[in-house]
Structure 1
Amino acid sequence: MISKLFAYGLCTALLALPLAGVAVEARTPQAVTFQEIRNATIKLGYGDVTFLIDPMLGAKGAYAAAPGAFNEQVRNPVVDLPMPADDVARADAVIVTHLHVDHWDEAAQKLLPKHMPIFAQNAEDAQRIRGTGFTDVRILTSESEFKGVKLSRTDGQHGSDATMAVRGKQLGSVSGVVLQRAGYKTVYVAGDTVWNTHVEQAIARYRPEVIVLNAGYVRFKDIEGSVIMGKEDLYRAAQAAPGAYIVASHLEALGHATQSRKELTDYITAKQLDATHVLIPDDGQAYQF
């Protein structure tokens, strides 16, 4: 069942994924809908409940790059939204994994209704969101619930230990979220994290059937490696959760996101991963699981 809030563009964007067999369908008869919007902004639908996650709704070039970022002369985002921002904003609740501008920007704060339920990762973020006028701000825990969907906060780390030693104050705390509802596939949105024990433990604990990874390999010039995942992490996820759908998000929208969709696609081919289960959506593209 596809939520009416996903109606925009689905005639051309929706892909009904092939599933393993009748037994899987019997166990999970309801479809989860997923739509890549832009960068880390996605929509997830559980029946008649739609979540908007990490909304960055500003126009192309609205924001200066972070100091020290690769391609810091380029303003972000580097592409327009694939649909009107008003359509993106139609949801039942919003989940904000952290408050960096590419996950919770001024445009989203202005456009979203002030009574919209907002789930924040901690009390500090919740207070800051309330400070912008939102009246229904909730703290995401391991036992949160919204209209029959269980929401569980997961931990992450916005870079390696070496990266956090250099830029930890700037990168701050981050989180992911697991969404569960009886009769639907479990979805794990890892958020802005590198691959580490937090991610491994979340996969082992919740056994998600859909895993969304921010895989654009965002980098800064003064540190080695990245502050979010890259192509090798798609392989790690496929190995950690055989049979799960792995979806790459946070791609080609920031100047310092240094791995392209083509590079990820070529890597999937080279590693002989199942391209029907390791997915690289375009902006605006949607799937049902």
Structure 2
Amino acid sequence: MKIQLIRHATLWLEYAGLNILVDPMLMDPEEMPAFPNTPNDLRNPRAALPETETDYTNPDLVIVTHTHIDHWDAAAAERLRKDVPLLCQPGDENVFIEAGFTSVHAVDEKYEFHSVRFARTSGQHGTGEIAERMGKVSGFVLEADAEPVSYIAGDTIWCEEPGEAIERYQPEVIVVNAGGARFTQGDPITMDGPDVAAVKRHAPNAHVIAVHMDAINHCMMTRLDLASYLASEQLDGQVLIPRDGESFVFDSKTEPG
């Protein structure tokens, strides 16, 4: 298995012979204004797409965990071919159908494509009223023979749902959306330092990868902030924090960080 961070939550997976694109946000830097009611007015995205040999506009399969603009944007809708198979959560399918995509699959619980088995998980995109306003979000677990079980948690804080997914599927690779994204009021809506630490402690034998940082204006925890926090919790080097464009290769024998 190879996993590459493109930018923010956009991932490229090479898994069981498939090239899989996750949560594509492909717009140019500063094309979008700051999210409203957030702590600064910096335009988004804060970072350019990295220079990479990966042709991430031509995947075999696309996964979209939810349709917030930093996970699915107009540039992705324009640049991806319309017949690419696309997995999403129930209720989001019309977004893709109306954009012209012809092979959209809303995954209720499980879906199989070629030799890969997908299971949809849930989460909480914040707490209280903010979580309700943010709407439903999903994650996905990938399983295939001779590949490590991999869990893409999506936009969720640490709560009962990701804990249950880890207990149920025992993933060997876990990707979490960090950054501690927040509005001017309320708690974070994605994982912050304590949440990432909780994931690692809940799954000590898994490779935990933290993404979703340094690209969107209301993600207040940077990569450096997260690394510093984890070091203060005696977890220095135990969570992978990739740069844009950086990739990792795993198999079931790879020792976790």
Superposed pair shares fold, TM > 0.5 = yes
**Which of the numbers 145, 149, 153 marks the counterpart of 2:120?**
153
**Which of the numbers 155, 163, 169 marks the counterpart of 2:130?**
163
**Which of the numbers 168, 190, 210 marks the counterpart of 2:153?**
190
Return the alpha-carbon distance in structure 1 between the equivalents of residues 188 and 53 of structure 2.
29
Return the alpha-carbon distance in structure 1 between the equivalents of residues 219 and 35 of structure 2.
12
- Size of the aligned set, in residue pairs, is 250
Return the alpha-carbon distance in structure 2 between the equivalents of residues 44 and 86 of structure 1.
10
Verify: 1:228 aligned to 2:190, yes or no: yes
Verify: 1:128 aligned to 2:57, yes or no: no
- What's the counterpart of residue 8 of structure 2? 39
> After alignment, is 41-50 or 193-202 more displaced?
41-50
C-alpha distance after superposition, 1:207-262 (max 9, x if no partner): 00111100111010022x21100111221111111211110010100011100111
Verify: 1:78 aligned to 2:46, yes or no: yes
- What's the counterpart of residue 209 of structure 1? 172
**Which of the numbers 19, 33, 39 marks the counterpart of 1:50?**
19
C-alpha distance after superposition, 1:58-116 (max 9, x if no partner): 00011122211221x21110110003798221211000000000000000000000001
Where 1:204 maps in the other structure, the secondary structure is: helix
C-alpha distance after superposition, 1:148-190 (max 9, x if no partner): 11110001111012533xxx33x11110000011111111111
Contact 1:34–1:45, Cα closer than 8 Å, also in 2: yes
Q: TM-score, normalised by structure 2?
A: 0.93
Contact 1:186–1:210, Cα closer than 8 Å, also in 2: yes
Return the alpha-carbon distance in structure 2 between the equivalents of residues 85 and 162 of structure 1.
42
Return the alpha-carbon distance in structure 1 between the equivalents of residues 52 and 72 of structure 2.
17
**Which of the numbers 90, 107, 113 marks the counterpart of 2:81?**
113
Contact 1:57–1:85, Cα closer than 8 Å, also in 2: no
Return the alpha-carbon distance in structure 2 between the equivalents of residues 158 and 85 of structure 1.
33
**Which of the numbers 215, 218, 223 marks the counterpart of 1:253?**
215
Return the alpha-carbon distance in structure 1 between the equivalents of residues 3 and 222 of structure 2.
21
Unaligned residue ranges in structure 1 (runs of 5+): 1-31
Q: Which structure's CA Rg is the greater one? A: 1
Return the alpha-carbon distance in structure 2 between the equivalents of residues 142 and 74 of structure 1.
38
Contact 1:86–1:111, Cα closer than 8 Å, also in 2: no
Where 1:182 maps in the other structure, the secondary structure is: coil
Where 2:87 maps in the other structure, the secondary structure is: strand
Shift of 1:274: 5.4
**Which of the numbers 49, 59, 65 marks the counterpart of 2:34?**
65
Identity of aligned residues (%): 40
Where 2:92 maps in the other structure, the secondary structure is: helix
Return the alpha-carbon distance in structure 1 between the equivalents of residues 75 and 205 of structure 2.
38
Return the alpha-carbon distance in structure 2 between the equivalents of residues 214 and 61 of structure 1.
21
Return the alpha-carbon distance in structure 1 between the equivalents of residues 190 and 236 of structure 2.
23
- What's the counterpart of residue 17 of structure 1? none
Q: TM-score, normalised by structure 1?
A: 0.83
Verify: 1:175 aligned to 2:138, yes or no: yes
Return the alpha-carbon distance in structure 1 between the equivalents of residues 168 and 54 of structure 2.
36
CA RMSD of the aligned region, Å? 1.5
Letter in 2 for 1:219: R
Unaligned residue ranges in structure 2 (runs of 5+): 251-257
Hey, which of these two has a bigger chunk of helix by percent?
Answer: 1
Where 1:88 maps in the other structure, the secondary structure is: coil
